[in-house]
Amino acid sequence: MHPSVRNDIDQPRNPNYKKDIVYVTRHNKWVLNSIGVWPVVLNGVGQFLPKIAIGLYNLVLFFVVMHCVLHVVFEQKDPVMVLKILGLICFSIISMMKYWALTARKSKIEYCIEQLYADWKQVEFQRDRELMLKYGKIGRKLTMYSAVFMYSGGLSYVTIKQYAIGSYVDEFNRTIKMLVYPTYNALYDVQKSREIMYFLQCMCEYVSDSVTAGACGLAALFVTHVCGQIDIVMSRIDDLIDGKFSEEDSTLKVRLVEIVQHHIRTLKFSAMIETVLQEVCFLEFFGSTFVICLLEYYCIVDWEQNDKIGLTTYSLLLISLTFNMFLLCYIGDLLIEKSTNVGISCCMIDWYRLPAKTVQDLILIIAMSNNPAKISAGRIVDLSLTSFASVLKTSFAYLNFIRKTVT
């Protein structure tokens, strides 16, 4: 555990901290534990389970993706089918890279979670706990929505789409039962181990969906926690003059020091969040633009071919990916807005009642809020609702290009 965090949580001030922590982290813990990313404290052989899970899931992802790539390169000739498989390959490869990014950042994720635990343990006033719970509920709901959308889209693909694919008779009069993830039959006879291959493909889909839902849930958990901390800072600023929610004998100088320390701590936590999520957001931002474009194309093709099952499946996948991209951009926009509001709070109090030195100190807080905390996609694009609109515009532009090229 990081030393600064350990010192903060030696003596919890919030008697309800265990219940609060479980409430806000439960769904993230379920999703990320299943893929070995959530930090857990296990003894004996159990401490190797997350590493074993990560290694196993990476092997499954690589094995399934390799089959799809070889099938496209050596067997598939239909350009429309090549495009459909290409979207599947892109989504799987992007998910695998996001998995690597989350695994590489696991130590920093652990630090952020410990910091979150420390903040919940050190809540001293009921007003502050209510502010944190307000945003904790938002983060919890966003995580649930992300998981529901991703798992429903993935489940429909490996069940409904698998049922609709059916089978065909090859040139040797053999009945070939197809799979949702195409396979390369030159390596070995997939039909003899079709059930095992289908199980591996379901596992691949589950891991891909869990990585996407887990990354969005982690962003929602951390950012909404930061928003709660910023609201506490703003309540302290409102309380600066009269000290209604501080210790009775606290002085103006002491209250200002507490505000600055809390604000700086929150900004450092925000900077750590951006470091943890920048690779994942980069892959999600640019990868989703291309995959959403392909899914839009699949929906148009299946609409023209009157393929209702295919249209339903791809529509669910399109909604899932679009919603998760929207969720990340909404979270980024919320963080920018909240960070900026700290400076606005400094301007809205009765600052004319403060000593000149204190007013000068408030100007420094305003200056810090002019450079708000952000979540960026690889430090290239700041995630906001404006960038979400750019994703949709770009995907439609790519869609027009693909339709003109293929037809």
227 contacts 338 by C-beta, under 8 angstroms: yes
Residuewise pLDDT in 10s, the chain (407 residues): 454 454 444 567 777 888 999 999 999 999 999 999 998 766 666 678 888 999 999 999 999 999 999 989 888 888 888 888 999 999 999 999 999 999 999 999 999 999 999 999 988 888 889 999 999 999 999 999 999 999 999 999 998 888 877 666 666 666 667 788 888 877 777 778 888 899 999 999 999 999 999 999 999 999 999 999 999 999 888 888 776 655 555 678 888 888 889 889 999 999 999 999 999 999 999 998 899 999 999 999 999 988 888 899 999 999 999 999 999 999 999 999 999 888 888 888 887 788 888 888 888 888 888 888 889 898 889 999 999 999 999 999 989 888 888 76
Q: Give me the pLDDT at residue 39, please.
A: 83
Residue 243 lies in a domain: no
pTM to 2 decimals? 0.90
What is the number of alpha carbons within 13 Å of residue 239 lying toward its C-beta? 22
Reading the block at residue 354, the tokens are: 């403060």
| Residues 6 or more apart in contact with residue 77 via CB below 8 angstroms | none
Domain span at 334: 24-105+149-217+271-406
- Overall number of domains in the chain: 1
Closest to 183 measured CA to CA, from 88, 100, 103: 88
Answer yes or no: is 183 within a domain. yes
User: Quick one: pLDDT at residue 28?
Assistant: 93
Say if 375 falls within a structural domain.
yes
Are the beta carbons of 317 and 299 closer than 8 angstroms? Answer: no
For residue 8, is it within any domain?
no
Instruction: Check residue 96 and give its pLDDT.
Output: 94
Q: Return d(Cα 326, Cα 135) in angstroms, integer.
A: 18
Residue 87 lies in a domain: yes
Q: Is residue 196 part of a domain?
A: yes
- Answer whether residue 4 is part of any domain: no
Residue 174 tokens read as: 């053999």
Question: Which pLDDT score is estimated for 124?
Answer: 82
Residue written as token pair 């507490």: 258
Question: For residue 4, what pLDDT is reported?
Answer: 47
Give the CA diameter of the chain: 92
- Establish if 122 belongs to a structural domain: no
